[in-house]
Amino acid sequence: MNLEKLIARYKDYRLDILAFNFASYLINWDSDTEAKAGSFDDRSVLESRLTKLELKITRSKGYINTVTELYNNLELLDEDLKIEIKKVYKDLVKSLKVPKEELIAYTKVLSKASQIWSEAKLNNDYASFAPTLKQIVDFNIRYSKYLETDKLKGYDVLLNEFEEGMTKEKYDEFFSLLKQEIVPLVKKINALKIKKPEWANQEFDINKQKEFCDYLMDVMCFDKNYGLMKESEHPFTSGFGTHDVRVTNHYYSNLLISSIFSAIHELGHATYERGNAEKLNFTFLQGGTTMAMHESQSRFYENIVARTKEFWARHYPKLQSLFFDQLKDVTLDDFYHYINFVECSLIRTEADELTYSLHIMVRYEMEKMMIEGHLDVNDYPKMWNKLYKEYLGLDIPNDTLGILQDVHWAGGDFGYFPTYALGSAYGAQLYHQMKNEMDVKEVFNEPNLKKVNAWLKEKVHQYGGLKTPEEILIKATGEKFNPKYYVEYLKNKFSLIYNL
């Protein structure tokens, strides 16, 4: 077959597969935002049928031969298609190693899992989630066996799925640097015994919180013609190309800043996806390059931009006017210290910027044991509690505030958590470069984040899946990933705030 015809055939298959992906994008969105508990049994039957239909295409001789033939003629393809085919071929070879029946059965388990998890969390009933969790962990253990290579085995296989090139060895090194540098700093700050301000323990009307989050969408220049913000148990971002990017948020009447920083975080993910080059729509390169790079962007907005005094010098008056009764005596300086308050606390998503990576370390250590099969599912909570004591010095009062707090394992995402910490470190390296190129204090203080968006779009967002994190970092900062920027950033910022 001539090359032109072959490419046309590939693009036809690609559109079929993207249509299935689009369907599951919408179904997942609905499952996590609108669908009622009673609907999940039926939808899991239909979802596994969709997976079966999609596998009919992706496991067909025609599709496999088309991709393989293009892969064998890589040098004849244009630059973008070459990158896409390399990726698709690699994924294809991988997926063929996993039996079709197992994948279908696993989809069925996953489609009910988040509902079971959310009820278990609500009722503080780990035992009701344990059998499902065991099925998910067992699948992931088998999955890592199917995909293992001479170099990658066990948990390394899963880590590599989320961040190519990352292994236990590399993460161990990264985390031990953090442990060595950050744990003593946290201890020093804790020893100051500074109390959380009283004003934070008030009620903050949820409708007003929503109004402020809507205002933040404008601050971040998020075009509401292409996306929206809804509610879910756990905030997340879900996108399909540059023209449909959605985020969710969760509101607590007694926690003012939770919804604010979740909104900024998720809108950061959304800005990344919206900033992809338009040419990547309808390809498998849309979205972003890796999870860690995605997290680097959300956390860049959440922490590096939005936990500065310059940002709040601009936006605090608006917040103060919305919550006048509660905030009338709270100065900008008070508020700035509050949003950077360091505290060993129970919930990862509410953790401050400094202790955050300690929460990730707990999950990383857990996953190593879960996937390498050294731990019985009934012993997970005990181990969780033990690690929290060790890293954060905390006693866990119940599983809702402990092991049941995150949705990730119910979604089958093992190897994902460590990318949060890695992403923060990518972000700090990008920030170091940004400071060389512009007056960040001035830029963060502007009425909106247009200039931040433009800089990140040029350095990161436009590329979608066209470049690896390493290529992006080298091009943007002139060097490979270097964790020293993250450690330096944290040490400088928090030593200043706490006068250490």
Range 63-71, long-range pairs (CB < 8 A, 24+ positions): 63/13, 64/92, 64/96, 66/6, 66/9, 66/10, 66/13, 67/10, 67/92, 69/1, 69/6, 70/6, 70/7, 70/10
Nearer to Zn ion by C-beta: 85 or 292?
A: 292
Minimum CB distance to Zn ion smaller for 279 or for 348: 348
CA distance 380 to 405: 13
Q: How far apart are CA 316 and CA 327, in angstroms?
A: 10
Least distance in Å: CB of 290 to Zn ion? 13
Is 63:13 a contact under the CB 8 Å cutoff? Answer: yes
Nearest residue (CB) to Zn ion, 227 versus 381: 227
Nearer to Zn ion, 298 or 303 (CB): 298
Least distance CB 267 / Zn ion (angstroms): 11
Kindly state the smallest distance separating residue 360's Cβ from Zn ion, in Å: 12
Cβ(330)–Cβ(312) below 8 Å: no
Whether the Cβ atoms of residue 267 and residue 223 lie closer than 8 Å to each other: no
Could you tell me the smallest distance in angstroms from the CB atom of residue 407 to Zn ion? Answer: 12
**Helix, strand, coil: what percent of the chain each, to 5?**
70, 5, 30
Q: Can you tell me whether residue 404 is helix, strand or coil?
A: coil
> Between residues 115 and 262, which has the closer beta carbon with respect to Zn ion?
262
CA dihedral 478, 481, 487, 489 (to 10 degrees): 40
For Zn ion, the closer CB: 294 or 368: 294
Length of the chain equals 500
Q: Catalog residues that contact Zn ion under the rule CB under 5 A.
A: 298
Residue 474, C-beta contacts closer than 8 angstroms, at least 6 positions apart? 480
Q: Which residues are catalytic?
A: 266
Q: Which residue is nearest to Zn ion (CB)?
A: 298
Task: Give min distance, CB of 295 to Zn ion, in A.
Answer: 5
**Contact between 64 and 57 (Cβ < 8 Å):** no
What minimum distance in Å lies between the beta carbon of 472 and Zn ion?
A: 18
